[in-house]
Amino acid sequence: MVKDSKKIWYKAARTIVKAGQLPMVVNDTLLELLQLIMTEEQADFIAIFKKPSLSIDQIREKTTLSDEVLNQTLNELMDNGVVVGVPSRRTGIMVYRLLGPFPGLFEMQFTRGETGEKQIKLAHLFDKMFEEMSEGTQRNYDHIVAQYKKFPPITRVVPVEEEIEDVPVDKILPHEEASKIVNKYDDITLVHCYCRHEKDLLEDSCKVTNERLNCLLLGKSAKFAVDHNFGNKISKEEAIKIINKASDEGLVHKAFHTHLKPDLDEEAICNCCKCCCGIFSLFWNGVMPYHCYTSYLAKVIDDICIGCGTCVEKCPMEAIELEDAIAVVDESRCIGCGVCVHHCPENAMELERTGNREVFVPPPRIETT
């Protein structure tokens, strides 16, 4: 029996969207994007992922492929950044996770820093997909924003470390400090910043930094990346140097957790700018709310502030304004990143620990023509 090609690709696209964290429609852009990333045989295969994660034994039960062909198919999908395979921490059995469009496929396609015709086309297709998502959100703004409230935050913001005040050890969770996150892991892999690389391919390069190798994968994700040639292993000392440089350049440190749960292990630390970061971009382009976990809040020391506006310029959330020549923080928009604190020339800003909190800022309404 010959399978219908259109049905194979549509089913694959639906399966990938269901595996992701964002509401998304299956359209021609997504289908064209997937056809650049995988073969039709691979698209047919991934339909077995009724759940995003399956053990090797569960996969064997769902396919008639021989072990040799199955292993080859899984390895090709992992090399192509469609599936991630890591051993279960509890059992040691290999578990394979199908990636959603974003976060997921997007990052893996640009992590290697490749600049060929395929990558350029992918960059334009992802950009078009995000534009279409923006149009969809803006047309159905109230409904879509309400839907996003049901989804967990994608990231946890980690503050600029040297700006955290000394407090008793039991008052600071270890994962609130970037160096302590890094020091938890023996496997650390350095990869290209996928967001900046996509912007380079679109000829719209970063306005904040010239650095491209400053995204860190941790633990099992780091080992996977090395095994499948997405990046290179580095030391803890090298990773901390990269984080410190990113702080000095005004980048925001974000930690990504397994299954988006902050009580589980970190998978990555990204160093993000307002102009390139996919999550910031989707927010500012009206696609989705900015939704994150954080443990800090920026505070202004009024007696010291001279109203120079550095914090206003640096804040990636535009959460600070000058009123009567004094900086004022909109606490509902502050993500506690510490960029304003780190760059204030008068030391007139400080980070106040709030304990874990969620920040949910609806995307701007954008007038469409």
- What tens digit of pLDDT does each residue of 210-258 get? 999 999 999 999 999 999 999 999 999 999 999 999 999 999 999 998 7
Residue 272: pLDDT over 70: yes
The predicted pLDDT at position 171 comes to 34
Domain end among 100, 126, 157: 100
DSSP at 303:
T
Mean pLDDT lowest among 65-69, 177-181, 191-195, 300-304: 177-181
Residue with tokens 């359209």: 27
3-state SS string over 60-99? Answer: HHHCCCCHHHHHHHHHHHHHCCCEEEEECCCCCCEEEEEC
Same domain membership, residue 162 and residue 72: no
pLDDT exceeding 70 applies to what percent of the chain?
A: 95
Same domain membership, residue 145 and residue 71: no
Q: Whole-number mean pLDDT of the chain?
A: 92
Same domain membership, residue 145 and residue 95: no
One-letter amino acid at 274 equals: K
Domain end among 100, 127, 149: 100
Same domain membership, residue 352 and residue 289: yes
Q: CA 15 to CA 19: how far, in whole Å?
A: 6
The predicted pLDDT at position 166 comes to 46
Same domain membership, residue 321 and residue 178: yes
- Looking at per-residue pLDDT, the higher value among 64 and 89 belongs to 64
The predicted pLDDT at position 75 comes to 97
Q: Does residue 122 lie in a domain region?
A: no
The predicted pLDDT at position 190 comes to 98
Q: Which residues, in sequence order, are CB contacts of 337 under 8 Å at separation 6+?
A: 157, 159, 160, 252, 253, 294, 316
Same domain membership, residue 275 and residue 175: yes
Nearest to 356 by CA among 292, 288, 266, 280: 292
* pLDDT (tens digit per residue) in 285-335: 999 999 999 999 999 999 999 999 999 999 999 999 999 999 999 999 999
Q: Does residue 136 lie in a domain region?
A: no
Q: Does residue 127 lie in a domain region?
A: no
Same domain membership, residue 320 and residue 255: yes
Same domain membership, residue 159 and residue 59: no
Same domain membership, residue 347 and residue 236: yes
- Counted domains in the chain: 2
Between strands 266-272 and 215-218, the pairing is: antiparallel
Q: Does residue 112 lie in a domain region?
A: no
CA distances from 306 to 303, 310, 316, 346 (A): 8, 10, 21, 8
3-state SS string over 324-337? Answer: CCEEEECCCCCCCC
- Looking at per-residue pLDDT, the higher value among 35 and 175 belongs to 35
* pLDDT (tens digit per residue) in 72-88: 999 999 999 999 999 98
Same domain membership, residue 305 and residue 245: yes
pLDDT band at 262; cut points 50, 70, 90: confident
One-letter amino acid at 253 equals: H
Prediction pTM value: 0.91
We report the CATH number of the domain holding residue 19 as 1.10.10.10
Same domain membership, residue 342 and residue 201: yes
Sequence-ordered alpha helix ranges (H) in the chain: 5-19, 28-37, 40-45, 56-62, 67-79, 105-110, 117-139, 141-148, 178-183, 194-201, 219-227, 236-248, 278-284, 310-314, 339-343
- Looking at per-residue pLDDT, the higher value among 163 and 149 belongs to 149
Q: Does residue 109 lie in a domain region?
A: no
Residue range of the domain that includes 57: 5-100
Q: Does residue 224 lie in a domain region?
A: yes
Q: Does residue 130 lie in a domain region?
A: no
The predicted pLDDT at position 169 comes to 33
Q: CA 130 to CA 33: how far, in whole Å?
A: 12
Q: Does residue 121 lie in a domain region?
A: no
Same domain membership, residue 174 and residue 77: no
The predicted pLDDT at position 174 comes to 38
